[in-house]
Amino acid sequence: MKRIAIIGGGISGLSAAYSIEEKRRSGTPVEYVLFESRLRLGGVLLTEEVDGCLVEAGADSFLTEKPWAAELCAKLGLADQLIGSNDAQRKTYILAKNKLVAMPDGLMFMVPTKIMPAIRSPLFSAKTKIRMAAEWFHPPRESSADETVAQFVERHYGREMVEMLADPLLSGVYGGQASELSLRAVLPRFADMEAKQGSLGRGMAFARKQAAAISSTTPPPAPRPLFTTLKGGMQQLISVLVASLDPGSIKTSVTVELLARELDRWTVSAGYHSDQFDGVILATPTYEAGLVLQGTDEALSRELREIQYSSSLTVALAYNDSVRRALPPGFGFLVPRSEGRRVLAATFVHNKFPHRAPADRALIRCFLGGSRDEPILQKGEHEVVKIVRDELEQILGPSLRAEPLFTRVYKWRSAMAQYSVGHLERIRRIEELRLKHPGLALAGNGYSGIGVPDCVRSGAEAASTILAAMGMWSAA
């Protein structure tokens, strides 16, 4: 019987455990122990039911176009529990000079694919609009060198586009800054488009044309929602996933402190206890993985510890119907840095996922922190709520002076990996170093995708890597 240790019980570690559990159930002679330092499993995924509302503490949904989370849900019998975002209401605002301005129709990330709405939008100056038109003639540019997203966007559309769109969009997804994040790690498709087509606008148009050509020969697929979630919130995935595992294989409230390798055996130490395994999957943030590997491989440990993480904070506020009626339609808004606010983004949850709040309630979720505002994590909940309420009132108007029905504050310290310039090179070095330890695999949001679907995929891949090293996974 081979034994595998999984360290970290977030969605990455649970996904790895699920893959091994499937093998175990099908008769493969393997067992596993999952170690999680907290009492609760799920890591950044947590949903609470408060006064008739479903409040997401961390991730609220996942991108539909990345299939791995939905596929896992289907395997768990949750296919009929998946729901899409209410895209009929999809409208996002940017705060510009303290006014909410709708993002123009046809904007894909920050690439205008429909020129007229972008030209008419009050969001951009005449200079940026001229840049948008000129971008159509951007020549192809082959380069393997990495650069920041800000440098890339500025080259195509100018500085204003970085400040008004790229930066707020990235701070909403990565809690990071366009001036630090790596183009090749975060937006590889754009790098590819620049190399082949030059212009991003033309690249997008070309991609749309190709899709249209395919759908003229086959019936067009039904339009899919941008975001997918579960009726019971992201927690539903965690609860059903945990229930599918062997309860005797899960150890919560156990922090692994050290890994030691002797020939093909790994010793996992936590407090006064230690146990022996044939393989180890490290599914923690990379700085933790680096710490536990310090005694085993100093070079690997150093590379892992060099990946930076940002902290963030979500604040949920529920209001009565009068606030709901006073709010603008749409999914919410993003706040550029130049506005000088601490709220980075706000979601009108009752519009994005209507079932998450009763019809006479408004549920607003704000996102704060990120790499620019770590100090907010030091503030007490009362002070955070006051900051958020003051800013919401200034942005959305006096109706937000109303007393919330409830508020919730969730702090996520060092939870979001920052893929800075050179990230892909670092991941290549990490992989080379890891290969020296065949019984070791790495999973989590620090490597090749921060979203829930990528974490599900990374957990499953780590499991197949370890099982393959033990000769138990022919497909890997």
Ligand X SMILES: Cc1cc2nc3c(=O)[nH]c(=O)nc-3n(C[C@H](O)[C@H](O)[C@H](O)COP(=O)(O)OP(=O)(O)OC[C@H]3O[C@@H](n4cnc5c(N)ncnc54)[C@H](O)[C@@H]3O)c2cc1C
Nearer to ligand X, 416 or 466 (CB): 416
At closest approach, how far in Å is the CB of 181 from ligand X? Answer: 15
Nearer to ligand X, 33 or 450 (CB): 450
The CA-based angle 245-248-254, given to 5 degrees, is: 100
Nearer to ligand X, 362 or 450 (CB): 450
Nearer to ligand X, 64 or 121 (CB): 64
At closest approach, how far in Å is the CB of 449 from ligand X? Answer: 8
The full DSSP string for 43-58 is: TT--EEEETTEEEESS
The CA-based angle 83-84-87, given to 5 degrees, is: 150
At closest approach, how far in Å is the CB of 470 from ligand X? Answer: 22
Nearer to ligand X, 292 or 318 (CB): 292
CA-to-CA dists, residue 305 to 183, 261, 282, 309, 430, angstroms: 21, 19, 13, 10, 11
Cα radius of gyration (the chain): 23
Are residues 48 and 21 in contact, defined by beta-carbon separation less than 8 angstroms? no
Contacts of 393 (CB under 8 A, 6+ apart): 400, 401
At closest approach, how far in Å is the CB of 410 from ligand X? Answer: 7
At closest approach, how far in Å is the CB of 268 from ligand X? Answer: 9
At closest approach, how far in Å is the CB of 255 from ligand X? Answer: 4
At closest approach, how far in Å is the CB of 412 from ligand X? Answer: 4
Determine the distance from the C-alpha atom of residue 154 to the mean position of all C-alpha atoms in its chain, rounded to a whole number. 24
At closest approach, how far in Å is the CB of 61 from ligand X? Answer: 5
Amino acid code (one letter) for 26: S
At closest approach, how far in Å is the CB of 53 from ligand X? Answer: 17
**262, burial (CB in 10 Å: exposed 0-12, middle 13-18, buried 19+):** exposed
SS3 174: helix
At closest approach, how far in Å is the CB of 243 from ligand X? Answer: 18
- Say if strands 227-230 and 82-84 run parallel, antiparallel, or are unpaired: antiparallel
At closest approach, how far in Å is the CB of 47 from ligand X? Answer: 12
Nearer to ligand X, 17 or 178 (CB): 17
Q: Of how many residues is the chain composed?
A: 476
SS3 304: helix
Q: What are the residues binding ligand X (CB under 6 A)? A: 7-13, 35-38, 43-45, 58-62, 255-256, 283-285, 288, 292, 312, 314, 412, 415-416, 444-445, 450-452, 455
Rounded-to-10 torsion of CA 350, 410, 372, 386: 80
Nearer to ligand X, 121 or 171 (CB): 171
Phi, psi for residue 337 in degrees, rounded to 5: -60, -35
Determine the distance from the C-alpha atom of residue 315 to the mean position of all C-alpha atoms in its chain, rounded to a whole number. 17
Nearer to ligand X, 151 or 269 (CB): 269
In the sheet that holds 265-270, the strands lie side by side as 258-262, 265-270, 273-277
The full DSSP string for 207-266 is: HHHHHHHHHHHSPPPPPPPSEEEETT-HHHHHHHHHHTS-GGGEE-S----EEEEETTEE
Nearer to ligand X, 141 or 355 (CB): 355
Determine the Cα–Cα distance for residues 415 and 4; give it in Å rounded to an integer. 25
Nearer to ligand X, 270 or 318 (CB): 270
Termini Cα distance of the chain: 20
The full DSSP string for 367-403 is: EEESTT-GGGGGS-HHHHHHHHHHHHHHHH-GGGGSP
Nearer to ligand X, 348 or 412 (CB): 412
Nearer to ligand X, 206 or 287 (CB): 287
At closest approach, how far in Å is the CB of 407 from ligand X? Answer: 16
User: Which neighbouring-strand residues pair with 4?
Assistant: 32, 279
